[in-house]
Structures are given as structure tokens and as C-alpha cells.
């Protein structure tokens, strides 16, 4: 099949709409809550920092008091131990020089006499472990033999087997194997290490390497208890005193003090959002719903507008209510103008139809007075085209109320009758119609009517007894186009057909095809013309 005409270019696609920002799509309430949360969060952080700072200051003050108390206790123990061991050193040196030096032994006994009531004791031993001064105590001889000469040694007795608890110190002479040992009970050391004016509960422990002697126990009150510790060396045989006190515990008041700023932050943001939502966003949402449900002629409910909590939104509602009244008045004016315009359009269409009928009558009148057959055929050809335009105009005028378009079934049916009625004498043309009920615009209907008239007249020119078939069927895969097909044996390729297309009908058919924005296909073997036309709907 050969192509007679081509359509124009397709419409260009519209550019895609851009996407908005992610936060810009959030509801106003969510954005408001986010802004309030960010604005109030620094205040909550400042309050938490202040609470932590107060706790840190209290801990720092507690550590300072603990250091002072630990220094006082360690100094008291160190002074006592150094003084007692110095007295033993003097006695050991004197007895090393003269074992019969009774005054030196008496002086040592006088030094320890003040602490003897608390269980403190000492003993000076010879090379064989026999006491030469003081009172022997358990473990003194064995401990004295294990220590190096001229060195102060210490041992902690923790009483694990139910025995005594305390501290043993040993000092050896420079010759003759004489040594001295002293025992200080834990109760004596505990009383000695008690700091003055320290009202807090504390624990103290005497340490020697990995050995520990607990002087004052400090029981653990909870699993989350925090403690502060201070450790001071006594500068005696590697001994050290460790003191501990309880710091401010991680208790419910502290947790509440830390969580309260965050709770206040969340409540402040939530209350602010709730107030703004109730006073601003919810009324605006209600007013928006009223505007969305607005229809021409309606008016917003005054009771609903008076119930809005914000005066500014009530004023906005009153403004919309006044605007709706103005729109209703304008709608009434437009409706009245539309009625007048419809009447005027009907009158224009009526006059145009009458004028076309007058033109058709004048052509018919002049055709009767023609002196030659050629003139009569020319008048008949013109009259057929005027009739085609009149038919389209009449059916377009009839469909104005429903605005569905022009029905091609009625137009082509009446057009076929008009063509048969105006056919030249001696012409026995036959037209068979198979038209589906499609509707088209007036411009398409005019072009289709003229195209069918031209093709029918071309067929009559080629064969006076031509039999034609006109069909209008849907196009597969689309509901916007229908296929118009006109076939006849008279339209099979021939010299007469080519002559008619070349001198009279070809240019008109090509122009009508371009007007329909489609392509006209001709099958020269079957004598069929096909063209897809745009439709607006069907029954």
C-alpha cells in the first residue's frame, strides 16, 4: 500500500516535575516539634552539665578532706612506730655493748609502758633467741631470725586462723646477734590512726606489699556504691596506710536530677507543640477541610468559624466566607451570561444553517437553467460539497447540549443519501455503510465529510455505476482513533483514476488528509482507501 500523506510531528513530552526537599514534605507539627526540640536542647544540656558539675565539686571536696585525714592518720602511726623503733634501736645498741645495761632496758620498757594496756609489747633477744629484755610474744623469735641485720622489717598478722591481728616490727643489732621485735595490735593502730574531726564513715587498711591488715572496716551498702581512696607511705619497712570513704552514690535523687532536665526539655517541646497545634494547626486544618469541601453556592458554617480558638484564624474564616459570597454572585452572573451566550450561539447556528440551505437552493435553481451537461455536473458537484458542510453543521448543532461531538454514523448516513440524490442522471451508484457509533470534533467531521465526498465523486468519475462500501471501525490498541475505509472496484488503479487524481481530486484529497493529521493509504489492487481519524468517544 502506498502512502498518500503524512501527519505532523508528535507533541513533545512535558519535563518531569522536580522533587521537593525531604524536610519540606514534613507536616507543620513535626517541623515545629523538631525546631522546639533543637532550641530547648541546649538548656537541658546546660542543666545536666550543672548537675554533674555540682557532683564533681562535692567529690573534689570529699577527696580533699580524705587526703587531709589520711595524712593525719599516717603521720600519727608513723610517729608512733618510728619513736618506738628508735627506742628499741638505742636499747639494742646499748645491750650489744653491755648485756648488763639495765637502765637501757628500763628506758625501753618505759617507752612501751604507755601502750602496754592496749596490748603492745616488745622483746629483745640474744643470738640463741633467749629474751634479755621485755616480754616475749608468740612468733617473735622466729620473726627475728628471718630478718636481715641492721634492717627494720615488718609483718602483718591478719588473724586468719582466729589468732591475733596486728603488726610486728623487728630490728637487729650490729653485732653479737642481738635483735628486737615489737608487736602492735590492730585495735591500737586503729585508735592511733583515727583522724580528729572527721565525721564521715571511713575505712583504713595497713598494707605491706600484697599483705593487708584491715583496721577500720567499711561495709559496702550497695552494688553501685562509689568510693574515694587515698594512700600514704609510712616510710617504715615499706608500710602504707590506705583510707577509703563513700562518695555521693548513684542514687535515685542523682538519677532524677540528671533525668529531670531531659524530661523538662521533652515536656516543654511537647507542650509547646500541643499549644500551637491546638491553637493554630488544628484550626487551620479544619478551615482547610471546609475550603476543600467548598462548592459554588455553598457558604462556610458560621458556628464552625466562631468555634475556632484563634482570632486571626476566625478573621481568615470570615474573609473566606465573604469571598465565597462574592464567588457565588459571580457564578450567578456567569451562569446568566452563559445562558445569553448559548441563545446567541443557537441563533448564529440557525442562521448559518439557513444560509447554507439558501445557497444549496440557489445552486439547484441555477443547475436547472444550465445549458450543458458539463455545467449541470459542475453545479451538482458544488451542491454535494455544500450539502456535506450543511450536514456536519446540523449535527454539530444538534449535539451542542451534550457536548459529545459530532456522530459520524448520522453524518455519513445522511451524506450518502444526499450524494445518491444528487448523482447525475444515468448514474446508478450504490453505497453500503458499516459505521460504528463514534464521535469526533467539528473540524474532523468537516474534513471526513469532504474526503468521503471527494472519493465518492472520484469513483463516480471512474465508473458511473460504481458500488462503494464505507466502514468506520476501531483501531486495535487505542481508543482515540478509528479506521475509516472506503472501497470500490471503481478505485482500482487505472488511467482514468490516475487522470482524476492528477488534474482535479488529488490535491484536494491531500489537503484534507493533512487536515486530519493522518495518512491516507490506497490499495491499488482492491481499490480501498484507509485513514485513521481522531475520535472523542463512542456510544
Question: Measured on CA atoms in the order 26, 29, 32, 33, is the torsion positive or negative?
Answer: negative
- The 3-state DSSP class for residue 271 equals helix
CB 265 within 8 A of CB 290: no
| Nearest of 189, 181, 180 to residue 212 by alpha carbon | 189
The Cα 205–Cα 242 span in angstroms is: 5
The helix-helix angle for 311-368 and 373-398 (nearest 10°) equals 160
CB 70 within 8 A of CB 241: yes
The Cα 531–Cα 523 span in angstroms is: 12
| Nearest of 533, 395, 378, 536 to residue 451 by alpha carbon | 533
Q: In sequence order, which residues have a C-beta less than 8 Å from that of residue 358 and are 6 or more positions away?
A: none
107: its cell numbers: 628506758
| Nearest of 163, 160, 197 to residue 183 by alpha carbon | 163
The Cα 396–Cα 393 span in angstroms is: 5
The Cα 415–Cα 389 span in angstroms is: 9
Q: From first to last of its 539 residues, what are the pLDDT tens digits of the chain?
A: 444 444 444 444 444 444 445 655 666 666 777 777 777 777 777 777 777 777 767 777 777 777 887 787 888 888 888 887 888 788 877 777 776 677 878 887 777 777 777 778 888 877 777 888 877 777 777 776 665 555 677 888 777 545 678 888 888 776 667 778 888 888 887 777 778 766 667 777 888 888 888 777 777 766 666 777 778 887 778 888 887 777 766 656 666 766 777 777 777 777 877 777 777 777 777 777 777 776 766 666 666 666 666 677 777 777 777 877 787 788 888 888 888 887 887 777 777 777 777 777 767 666 666 667 677 777 777 777 777 777 776 666 665 545 677 888 888 888 888 888 877 776 778 899 999 999 988 888 888 988 898 898 888 888 888 899 999 999 988 888 999 999 999 899 898 888 888 888 888 889 889 988 899 999 999 889 999 999 988 87
CA 288 vs. chain centroid, Å, equals 25
Amino acid at each position: 500500500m502506498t502512502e498518500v500523506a503524512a501527519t505532523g510531528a508528535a507533541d513533545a513530552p512535558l519535563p518531569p516535575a522536580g522533587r521537593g526537599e525531604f524536610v519540606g514534605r514534613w507536616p507543620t507539627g513535626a517541623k515545629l516539634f523538631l525546631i522546639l526540640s533543637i532550641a530547648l536542647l541546649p538548656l537541658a544540656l546546660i542543666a545536666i552539665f550543672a548537675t554533674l558539675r555540682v557532683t564533681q565539686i562535692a567529690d573534689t571536696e570529699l577527696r580533699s578532706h580524705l587526703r587531709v585525714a589520711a595524712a593525719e592518720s599516717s603521720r600519727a602511726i608513723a610517729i608512733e612506730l618510728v619513736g618506738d623503733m628508735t627506742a628499741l634501736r638505742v636499747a639494742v645498741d646499748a645491750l650489744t655493748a653491755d648485756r648488763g645495761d639495765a637502765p637501757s632496758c628500763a628506758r625501753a620498757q618505759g617507752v612501751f609502758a604507755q601502750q602496754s594496756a592496749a596490748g603492745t609489747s616488745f622483746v629483745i633477744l640474744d643470738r640463741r633467741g633467749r629474751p634479755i629484755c621485755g616480754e616475749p610474744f608468740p612468733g617473735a623469735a622466729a620473726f627475728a631470725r628471718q630478718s636481715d641485720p641492721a634492717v627494720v622489717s615488718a609483718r602483718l598478722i591478719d588473724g586468719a586462723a582466729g589468732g591475733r591481728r596486728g603488726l610486728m616490727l623487728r630490728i637487729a643489732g650490729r653485732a653479737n646477734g642481738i635483735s628486737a621485735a615489737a608487736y602492735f595490735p590492730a585495735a591500737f593502730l586503729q585508735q592511733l590512726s583515727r583522724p580528729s574531726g572527721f565525721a564521715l564513715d571511713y575505712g583504713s587498711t595497713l598494707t605491706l606489699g600484697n599483705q593487708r591488715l584491715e583496721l577500720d572496716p567499711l561495709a559496702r551498702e550497695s552494688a553501685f556504691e562509689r568510693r574515694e581512696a587515698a594512700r600514704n607511705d609510712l616510710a617504715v619497712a615499706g608500710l602504707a596506710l590506705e583510707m577509703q570513704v563513700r562518695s555521693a552514690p548513684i542514687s535515685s535523687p542523682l538519677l532524677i536530677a540528671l533525668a529531670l532536665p531531659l524530661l523538662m526539655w521533652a515536656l516543654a517541646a511537647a507542650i509547646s507543640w500541643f499549644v500551637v497545634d491546638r491553637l493554630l494547626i488544628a484550626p487551620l486544618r479544619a478551615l482547610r477541610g471546609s475550603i476543600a469541601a467548598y462548592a459554588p453556592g455553598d457558604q462556610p458554617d458560621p458556628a464552625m468559624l466562631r468555634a475556632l480558638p484563634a482570632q486571626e484564624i476566625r478573621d481568615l474564616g470570615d474573609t473566606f466566607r465573604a469571598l465565597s459570597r462574592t464567588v457565588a454572585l459571580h457564578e450567578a452572573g456567569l451562569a446568566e451570561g452563559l445562558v445569553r451566550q448559548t441563545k446567541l450561539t443557537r441563533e448564529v447556528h440557525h442562521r448559518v444553517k439557513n444560509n447554507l440551505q439558501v445557497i444549496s437552493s440557489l445552486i439547484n435553481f441555477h443547475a436547472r437553467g444550465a445549458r450543458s451537461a458539463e455545467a449541470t455536473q459542475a453545479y451538482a458537484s458544488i451542491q454535494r460539497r455544500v450539502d456535506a458542510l450543511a450536514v456536519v453543521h446540523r449535527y454539530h448543532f444538534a449535539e451542542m447540549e451534550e457536548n459529545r461531538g459530532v456522530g459520524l454514523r448520522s453524518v455519513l448516513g445522511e451524506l450518502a443519501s444526499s450524494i445518491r440524490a444528487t448523482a447525475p442522471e444515468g448514474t446508478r451508484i450504490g453505497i453500503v455503510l458499516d459505521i460504528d457509533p463514534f464521535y469526533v470534533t467539528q473540524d474532523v467531521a468537516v474534513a471526513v465529510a469532504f474526503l468521503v465526498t471527494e472519493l465518492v465523486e472520484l469513483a463516480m468519475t471512474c465508473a458511473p455505476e460504481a458500488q462503494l462500501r464505507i466502514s468506520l471501525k476501531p483501531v486495535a490498541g487505542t481508543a482515540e482513533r478509528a479506521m475509516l475505509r472506503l472501497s470500490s472496484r471503481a478505485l482500482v488503479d487505472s488511467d482514468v483514476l490516475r487522470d482524476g487524481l492528477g488534474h482535479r481530486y488529488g490535491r484536494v484529497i491531500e489537503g484534507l488528509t493533512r487536515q486530519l493529521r493522518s495518512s491516507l493509504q490506497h490499495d491499488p489492487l482492491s481499490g480501498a482507501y484507509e485513514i485513521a481519524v481522531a475520535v472523542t468517544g463512542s456510544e
